[in-house]
Chain A
Amino acid sequence: MKFTKLAAIALISLGATATYAQDSVKIGALIPLSGNYGFLGVSERYGIDMALEEINAGGGVLGRQVEVQYEDSGTAAQATRKATRMLQNDGVDFFVNGGGSSVSTAMAEFAARNKVIDLALDPNSEELVRGKANRYFFLVPPPSSMIANAFVPEVAKLGDSVFFLTHDYSYGIAQTTEQRRVLEEIGDVEEVGEIRIPLGTRDFSSQIIAVRNAKPDVLIVNVAGIDSTALLEQIWEFGLYNDMQVAIPLLDFEDSWAIGADKNEMIALAGVEWHYNISDKAQAFKDRYQEKYPNADFPVPTTNSVNAYLGVRILLQAAEAAGSLESEAVVKQLETMTLEESLKMNPLTVRAADHQIVQDFVIVKVKPEAEREADYDLYEVVTVAAGADIVSPEAEATADMSAFD
């Protein structure tokens, strides 16, 4: 009797899971929710939730509602372990991931191995569209070559000599390498030094003294994440910006917000993946965000929110157009996709050769205090580089993007 009862409960609950799984489209989101990059995960979650709300309000995908299962990405090994569980036990249809280049590299391999689609939302690593590129993996943000192509010509206008502060891991090294390439192409700017900064450095006083002694016109800062907040605070503390122009090829709003409005004054030029002033749609997105999250950690959407939003939008739009949730069909659809609602000047496109999602890149400078409309209104747009103009030549794509059986 007891056994029958148990069996009945088991059957009912199994049945319930099956109906549930069929009823909704499920995205597995592995984003940083703890540790040094936890604050980026907060931004990503805002963006994913906004995309989801809009899509579900419009009837979902293939007539089904979409839901997201969030997990803390943690380390690369933890991320793929969780992804495996989500794929096998939780019936996840697609993955998106944050957590930087190391988690994304592991997730790219996971996607290829399991023939399931994964979109990386926050890494800027070149390798992800070169050696690690594969049929099931897509890179939403611009990699270091696109950033360098957009940013360095503007930096070259600031002076005749540059000094690099390079974060000593794949991200920083790739950034400096690509920027150096563009500098050499331009020709008349001299590099007077580079210091590699170990990951996890908290005190930069020695490096700052060394930079000052090298007397460059421009200091280019390729330091990311939580280390960069401390570095910016200390560049301010030592007044380094009085002796040289400080240029940051990829500035997270999270960092400029953390150091406070005053200290942003020291930044002569910065690259950002998104700014709300670049189009009416971008403005409207900012307004929706502020309405939805009046008490958010960040008063305006950050690049990480926007990339997460765009990634989920383009993925689900492809699934809808493909009329299927099956990986192969959605990959084929994604490879020809254009997302008009890019929140940028130009539509978002996907390049089939390497699965780079091509988007515009924005160069900004600090807005004079008198012209600011709000406490977050720190930057004004210098120029917007069109994605198609800065993406690396298609001929350079080398990965095999075919399905391997």
Chain B
Amino acid sequence: MPGFVEIVSQLTNGVIYGLILALVAVGFSLVLGVMGIINFAHGLLFALGAYLAYSLQFHVGYFGALVIAPLIVGMIGILMEFVFIRRLYGRDPLFVLVLTFGVAMAGEEIIQLIWGKLARSVDAPAFADSFIDFGFIIYSEYRLFMAAAAALIIGATWYLLAKSPLGSIIRAGTHDPEMVSILGMNLPLIRTGVFGFTALLGGAAGVVAAPLWSVRPTMGLDALLPAFLIVVIGGMGSFWGSVLGGLLVGVANAISVMFFPRFADLTMYVLAAVVLLYWPRGLLGKKSVLE
């Protein structure tokens, strides 16, 4: 039986891990909620963020990479929307699901062509590359920084969507695209912008996660599955749902490592199964565009 100290330190770590997961999931959730797209290439964008951080760290340092890499990934997202995704608006959501999955697979191969097959290491920024002794827990500085960065990015995204005028237009576009067009808004441009923004979020998550989980070609698909489950648990397309889902998975993982470490990887599936039994649309899900 773990002692009190261990329980507290594990739960603290679970919350921080959950914030990091939420950051990965939030862009995936947003593109689903706002555009009705299940973007299986979100993991690829995450991986691209991490790889760009790896390459850029030698030239512009970690913080330079944190700014530049997401911008590049955002532009790649815009290009992706412009070339592929916009052809499928208004069609069965399954089409875009298959398309983005294909893009993800092809993208992984392209990553291998450019950066090779072996894992790469990204160093944590100098100010956070050590650990702090809190007495009850010795914790990684970088994870604390990451949790703060995740909270900040999530908060800023929420503000942009819920409080800003642009956010109102985006949300109106989800509910009534026709009316938004009639009001003179350039809907295709807005959609491209939103997709690019979610790509940017994915890229930012990749940069932030790079020093932790080591950078390798399969990391995109590795990240996609937890992100998808978190969105399912939190509620399809619900912004705060994905944050809640991330936190729940983080804490559940910490608890399972304390009591049943062998089954730690099963916890998120069990959690998803239990949630879906009682809340078929996820915890905070509403009737979504996919129904």
Comparing A31-39, A327-335, A358-366, the segment that makes contact with chain B is A31-39
A202 in contact with B222 (CB, 8 Å): yes
B212 at the interface (CB under 8 A from A): yes
A229 in contact with B142 (CB, 8 Å): no
A53 at the interface (CB under 8 A from B): no
B121 at the interface (CB under 8 A from A): yes
- Residue among A226, A238, A259 making CB contact with B138, cutoff 8 Å: A238
Chain A residues positioned under 8 Å from B142 (CB to CB): 237
Taking the closest CB of chain A, its distance from the CB of B209, in whole angstroms, is 9
A196 at the interface (CB under 8 A from B): yes
Per the 8 Å Cβ criterion, residues 181-225 of A in contact with B are 195-203, 205-207, 209-210, 212-213
Per the 8 Å Cβ criterion, residues 202-226 of B in contact with A are 211-214, 216-218, 222
* 0 or 1 for each of B84-120: is its CB under 8 Å from A? (1 = yes): 0000000000000000000000000000100011111
B138 in contact with A212 (CB, 8 Å): yes
A254 in contact with B131 (CB, 8 Å): no
Per the 8 Å Cβ criterion, residues 1-22 of B in contact with A are 2-3, 5-6, 9-10, 13-14, 16-17
- Residue among A41, A196, A203, A206 making CB contact with B212, cutoff 8 Å: A203
Chain A residues positioned under 8 Å from B112 (CB to CB): 34, 38
Taking the closest CB of chain B, its distance from the CB of A234, in whole angstroms, is 7
- Known contacts A206-B14, A212-B138; A195/B118 CB under 8 A: no
- Quick one: which of A195, A213, A298 has the most chain B CB within 10 A? A213
A297 in contact with B116 (CB, 8 Å): yes
B279 at the interface (CB under 8 A from A): no
A49 at the interface (CB under 8 A from B): no
B263 at the interface (CB under 8 A from A): yes
A323 at the interface (CB under 8 A from B): no
- Residue among A202, A230, A254, A263 making CB contact with B118, cutoff 8 Å: A254
> How long is the Cα–Cα vector from A200 to B121 in the complex, in angstroms?
18
Chain B residues positioned under 8 Å from A233 (CB to CB): 121, 211-214
> How long is the Cα–Cα vector from A203 to B21 in the complex, in angstroms?
11
Closest partner residue, chain B, to A260 (CB atom): B121
A42 at the interface (CB under 8 A from B): yes
Chain A residues positioned under 8 Å from B257 (CB to CB): 195, 206-207, 210
Taking the closest CB of chain A, its distance from the CB of B270, in whole angstroms, is 13
A168 at the interface (CB under 8 A from B): yes
Chain B residues positioned under 8 Å from A321 (CB to CB): none
Chain B residues positioned under 8 Å from A297 (CB to CB): 116-118
> How long is the Cα–Cα vector from A41 to B118 in the complex, in angstroms?
10
> How long is the Cα–Cα vector from A128 to B9 in the complex, in angstroms?
42
A260 in contact with B123 (CB, 8 Å): yes
- Known contacts A213-B5, A238-B139, A259-B214; A200/B222 CB under 8 A: yes
A237 in contact with B131 (CB, 8 Å): yes
A206 in contact with B264 (CB, 8 Å): yes
Chain A residues positioned under 8 Å from B39 (CB to CB): none
Per the 8 Å Cβ criterion, residues 218-252 of A in contact with B are 226, 229-230, 233-234, 237-239, 243
- Residue among B120, B131, B213 making CB contact with A238, cutoff 8 Å: B131
Chain A: interface residue count, which band? 35 or more
Taking the closest CB of chain A, its distance from the CB of B3, in whole angstroms, is 8
Closest partner residue, chain A, to B123 (CB atom): A260
Chain A residues positioned under 8 Å from B137 (CB to CB): 209
A42 in contact with B264 (CB, 8 Å): no
B258 at the interface (CB under 8 A from A): yes
Per the 8 Å Cβ criterion, residues 255-293 of A in contact with B are 255, 257-260, 263
Chain B residues positioned under 8 Å from A39 (CB to CB): 116-119
A237 in contact with B124 (CB, 8 Å): yes
Closest partner residue, chain A, to B266 (CB atom): A198
> How long is the Cα–Cα vector from A168 to B117 in the complex, in angstroms?
24
Closest partner residue, chain B, to A198 (CB atom): B265
B118 in contact with A196 (CB, 8 Å): no
Taking the closest CB of chain A, its distance from the CB of B260, in whole angstroms, is 9
Chain B residues positioned under 8 Å from A202 (CB to CB): 213, 222
- Leading 5 A-B pairs by shortest Cβ distance: A206-B257, A198-B265, A39-B118, A258-B119, A239-B131
What is the interface of chain B, defined by CB distance below 8 A to chain A?
2-3, 5-6, 9-10, 13-14, 16-17, 112, 116-121, 123-124, 130-131, 137-140, 142-143, 211-214, 216-218, 222, 253-254, 257-258, 261-266
A-B contact pairs, 14 of them (CB 8 A): A198-B266, A200-B265, A203-B17, A203-B213, A203-B253, A205-B13, A209-B6, A210-B2, A233-B213, A233-B214, A237-B212, A258-B120, A260-B123, A297-B116
What is the interface of chain A, defined by CB distance below 8 A to chain B?
34-36, 38-39, 41-42, 168, 195-203, 205-207, 209-210, 212-213, 226, 229-230, 233-234, 237-239, 243, 254-255, 257-260, 263, 297-298
